[in-house]
Amino acid sequence: MMYRAAAALASDDTVLATEQLQEQLQLIAMAGGRVPDWSTLAVDGPTPGPEWRGQAWFEFTATVEGTPAPH
């Protein structure tokens, strides 16, 4: 099963975005009884988003394949 997460950050820092997206993906996969296979992680971005209150925002997305959790 493939999982997807998205984030909008006030920074174009790909490392920070990847860390935050991995946290989201971990929670989503665990809620589905699976664990992320980090070797399949794909991160897209930064994509410039609309400005809000004078602040530039950058959008990131990530996908990862989930495998059954060990019992």
Residue closest to 21 by CA, chosen among 8, 32, 5, 36: 5
For residues 69 and 33, the answer to whether their CB atoms sit within 8 Å is yes
16-56 confidence digits (pLDDT tens): 999 999 999 999 999 999 999 999 999 999 999 888 888 99
* pTM recorded for the entire structure: 0.89
Rounded to whole angstroms, how far apart are CA atoms 67 and 36?
6
pLDDT score recorded for residue 34: 95
- Domain ranges, ordered by start, for the chain: 2-68
With vertex at residue 31, the alpha carbon angle to CA 22 and CA 38, rounded to the nearest 5 degrees, is: 30
